[in-house]
Amino acid sequence: MEQPKLSVILLSGELEKLQAGCLISSVASMSGMEVNVFVTMEALRSFRKEVIEAKDFKAGLIGQEMLNKQVDLFYKLLENGKEMGNLKVFGCAMAIDLMGWKKEDFIDIFDDIIGVTAFLGKAAGSQVIVM
């Protein structure tokens, strides 16, 4: 029997959406699913080293409470999913190029920087969630 697959596209920079998408990804991975996460558009900014160090996230009421209570944030959830399951994280080449960013600007979470076509190949046959 083929392993169930989940593909999650993170495009929002809102902390709550990042947290929800990464929690779903991590739990799915730890539950035996193959998970591919594509980080694009505004979500990419939140994976930059300087943004994480400054905790400069777009956060609503619940996001602020997560920061106040110092819960494990989205990137930690992805790290856990990678360690304990089959989870891969990809940065969007087009958005990174557009902004003039480099892979070194980001925390060490991306398995690769790829385009949409490559991600669609990885997502083939999977359930897709967009956050």
What's the CA gap between 33 and 5, in Å, rounded?
A: 5
Read off the CATH number of the domain in which 36 is found.
3.40.1260.10
The 10s digit of each residue's pLDDT in 96-130 is 999 999 999 999 999 999 999 999 999 999 999 99
Q: pLDDT 10s per residue in the chain (131 long)?
A: 678 999 999 999 999 999 999 999 999 999 999 999 999 999 999 999 999 999 999 999 999 999 999 999 999 999 999 999 999 999 999 999 999 999 999 999 999 999 999 999 999 999 999 99
The CA-CA-CA angle for residues 22, 41, 105, to 5°, reads 80
What's the CA gap between 46 and 52, in Å, rounded?
A: 7
Structural domain count, the chain: 1
E-only strand ranges, 1-131:
5-10, 34-39, 86-92, 112-114, 127-130
Strand 34-39 to 112-114 pairing:
unpaired
Residue 30 phi, psi (nearest 5): -70, -20
> pLDDT exceeding 70 applies to what percent of the chain?
99
pTM, two decimals, is 0.96
What's the CA gap between 70 and 27, in Å, rounded?
A: 20
State which residues form the domain around 72. Answer: 5-130
- pLDDT for residue 100: 98
